Amino acid sequence: MAENLIDIRELKKYYPVHGGIFKRHIADIKAVDGVDLKIEKGECLGLVGESGCGKTTLGKTILRLHGATSGRIYFGQSEDIIERIESLLKSENPEERQEGEKLLRQHDLTRLSRKNLLPLRKKIQIVFQDPSNSLNPRMLVKAIIAEPLIAQRLMSGKDIEKRVLELLYTVGLAKEHMMRYPHEFSGGQRQRIAIARALATYPEFILMDEPTSALDVSVQAQILNLLKKLQDEFKLTYLFVTHHLLVVKHISNRIAVMYLGKMAELGPTAEIFDKPLHPYTKALLSAIPIPDPKTKMEKIILSGDVPNPINPPSGCRFHPRCKYAKDICREVEPKLEVAEGRHQVACHRWKEIS
């Protein structure tokens, strides 16, 4: 069985909405609303869904760029300790629950103090969508890549320069690029610099937040191939957030489909593409253009927009747009259940409609 690097339990991230003259808390935007997810060591997990489904928020909450509202995130923890904490938290005995809370402060990423979080920072990195915004235009490439090494006090002096040079070569750039500014590079080269910076601290996990979406199509494939190569070379684990399904098909081992803050379907990439089980996944896949005019595929047009995450629909959140919806779908929320092997789906009627 594959070992998990990240184990997420019942994660919620709500953004408060304030209104009225006294700016009182009147509602919450439920961006991530009770997500359970395991990311295996060395895999690339693709996270897909429409804009506003909560995929980027989920990624940034894992990185602690956003604080979680509730839930647990275990990073690099053994199965034994996770199960022990989880069983203590469910205990009827208040003392055992207290013991569980105490252990959470040492092992749950959402609760770690700043001091305890610091050593983890170097293991967890991010590559943002748009390198033009994520790279400081006033800094030389050398300083940009060296920044996390200095902040983490991993190296000093000549060692930093050596490491920067090594990273530039790793991402396909050269020594002469060290003393240039980001605006002197093309979009693809800027993304290579951002990747080099993410690799600087020898991370184990990198959140790829739409890393190819802002690039020209011709450059996208080069960056994807580079990311694949780096993953193999450094045994990295990726969470690859994107709305582009063909990109995740190319790079991911498994795919997780999110809808309105919840997981709809999760499974190995080939299975999700060959036999999607959730009506939402089917609709997403049917929208992929096929580059062969002779091949016809029925497009599933979803009616209406994604509902408001402040007041999501009852039961299955997808029911107002689902042609298979029945009474149970409006009343009972479907849970992510195992369909087969590692394939999971959250739909009451997947057996009838698959």
Q: In what order do the strands lie in the sheet with 70-75?
A: 24-40, 4-19, 70-75
Compute the least distance from the CB of residue 282 to ligand SF4, in Å. 10
Instruction: Please identify which residue in 13, 72, 197, 349 interacts with ligand SF4, judged by CB under 6 A.
Output: 349
* Beta bridge mates, 278: none
Amino acid at 322: C
* Binding window for ligand SF4 (CB under 6 A); candidates: 68-76, 87-95, 281-289, 343-351: 343-351
CB atoms within 10 A of CB 103: 16
* Binding-site string for ligand SF4 from residue 277 to residue 296, where x marks contact by CB under 6 A and - marks none: -xx-----------------
**Residues in region 321-340 near ligand SF4 by CB under 6 A:** 322, 324-325, 329, 334
Compute the least distance from the CB of residue 321 to ligand SF4, in Å. 8
* Beta bridge mates, 33: 12
CA distance 209 to 231: 16
* Beta bridge mates, 48: 257
State yes or no: residue 259 binds ligand SF4 (CB under 6 A).
Answer: no
Enter the DSSP assignment of 36.
Answer: E
* Binding window for ligand SF4 (CB under 6 A); candidates: 14-22, 41-49, 54-62, 319-327: 319-327
Nearest CA to 226 among 255, 254, 251, 256?
Answer: 251
Compute the least distance from the CB of residue 309 to ligand SF4, in Å. 17
Q: How does strand 44-48 pair with strand 237-241?
A: parallel
Residue with smaller CB distance to ligand SF4, 263 or 325: 325
Residue with smaller CB distance to ligand SF4, 75 or 350: 350
State yes or no: residue 348 binds ligand SF4 (CB under 6 A).
Answer: yes
Compute the least distance from the CB of residue 148 to ligand SF4, in Å. 42
State yes or no: residue 319 binds ligand SF4 (CB under 6 A).
Answer: yes
CA distance 340 to 81: 27
* Binding window for ligand SF4 (CB under 6 A); candidates: 103-111, 217-225, 237-245, 345-353: 345-353
Contacts of 102 (CB under 8 A, 6+ apart): none
3-state secondary structure at position 76:
coil
Contact predicate 75/225, CB 8 Å: no
* Binding window for ligand SF4 (CB under 6 A); candidates: 123-131, 219-227, 233-241, 341-349: 341-349
Q: Which spans of this chain sit near ligand SF4 (rule: CB under 6 A)?
A: 278-279, 316, 318-319, 322, 324-325, 329, 334, 347-349
